[in-house]
Amino acid sequence: MSAITVEGVSKVFAGASGQSMLALSDVTLDIADGEFVVLLGPSGCGKTTLLRIIGELESPTTGRVLRDHGGQTAGAEKPLGFVFQEATLMPWRSTAANVALPLEMAGVGRRERMARVREMLTLVGLAEAEEKYPHQLSGGMRQRVSIARALAHDPKILLMDEPFGALDAQTRDTMNVELQRIWLETRKTVVFVTHSVSEAVFLADRIVMLGTKPGHIHSITEVTLPRPRTVDMTESAEFRHLAAELRRQIGEVQDTEARPALSA
């Protein structure tokens, strides 16, 4: 079974003045267990909406999402990890206490909690920073804490919405390398949203390009570059060729005029 199955999902939002707005139209997508899928597309095409529907933070208007958590039933806690653009850490909690939060909420005992927190902070390269507070960390470090927190309860699925969008280009490159390493070590199923073509090509097994008006799947591109990928590889002919093709497609979907909601 796939880790995530999205079947005929559409989403209508009620606009401010009462008229309804079709944000997503008939999205169907299968995501394999352990796959790294990137949702790419211009602003407003529905990337966040689709991610939130996959994560059950939002319900679809029509269609459905099935998720296979491999038998995990973590009580009321959904076995999903979320990382957003802003780190959303609790400022009054230390790094370790932030990572421990989902474990506390799931009722995990103190000894196990502390072991798990240490393991996660080591995984994200922050073992030394466990006593620091969020304001003492750089933006990249804060996002590492967010990733550690999202992975703390060992979800099978990790959902990430532009997690590195607020970082400078160089830190972002480093974080992409780090995320790839973490993914290779943990083999989570990842759905990752970005505006950035090069970030998408660097990270993805498959890139799902969304178009606008209404949000729909425009294309799906497999990225066959070998792993682990390195920053040097972003200069390779294959990488650049793929990135150029995706940029061309973004130009295409941005320029598309309103299309009928359910045309093929």
Interacting residues toward Mg ion by CB under 5 A: 48
Considering the complex, state which of residue 153 and residue 216 has its C-beta at the smaller distance from ligand ATP.
216
Considering the complex, state which of residue 129 and residue 209 has its C-beta at the smaller distance from ligand ATP.
209
We find the least distance from the C-beta atom of residue 195 to ligand ATP, in angstroms, to be 6
- Among candidate residues 168, 182, 245, 232, the one with its CA nearest the CA of residue 202: 232
Contacting positions for ligand ATP (CB under 6 A): 13, 21, 23, 41, 43-49, 195, 215
We find the least distance from the C-beta atom of residue 48 to Mg ion, in angstroms, to be 3
φ, ψ for residue 10, nearest 5 deg: -125, 155
Q: What angle do CA 10, 258, 161 make, to 5 degrees?
A: 50
Could you tell which of ligand ATP, Mg ion, none binds residue 44, using a CB distance below 5 to 8 A set by kind? ligand ATP
SS3 of 257, please?
coil
We find the least distance from the C-beta atom of residue 52 to ligand ATP, in angstroms, to be 8
**Are the beta carbons of 209 and 43 closer than 8 angstroms?**
no
Could you tell which of Mg ion, ligand ATP, none binds residue 153, using a CB distance below 5 to 8 A set by kind? none
We find the least distance from the C-beta atom of residue 226 to ligand ATP, in angstroms, to be 29
Considering the complex, state which of residue 40 and residue 147 has its C-beta at the smaller distance from Mg ion.
40
Q: Report the alpha-carbon distance of residue 259 to residue 263 in Å, rounded.
A: 8
Considering the complex, state which of residue 26 and residue 162 has its C-beta at the smaller distance from Mg ion.
162
**Are the beta carbons of 205 and 220 closer than 8 angstroms?**
no
Could you tell which of Mg ion, ligand ATP, none binds residue 49, using a CB distance below 5 to 8 A set by kind? ligand ATP
Could you tell which of Mg ion, ligand ATP, none binds residue 46, using a CB distance below 5 to 8 A set by kind? ligand ATP
Query: How many angstroms separate the Cα of 80 from the Cα of each of 23, 150, 154, 175, 220?
Result: 24, 8, 8, 21, 24
We find the least distance from the C-beta atom of residue 160 to Mg ion, in angstroms, to be 11
Q: Where are the beta strands (DSSP E) in the chain?
A: 4-14, 20-31, 36-40, 62-67, 80-83, 157-161, 189-194, 206-211, 216-222
Considering the complex, state which of residue 35 and residue 162 has its C-beta at the smaller distance from ligand ATP.
162
SS3 of 135, please?
helix
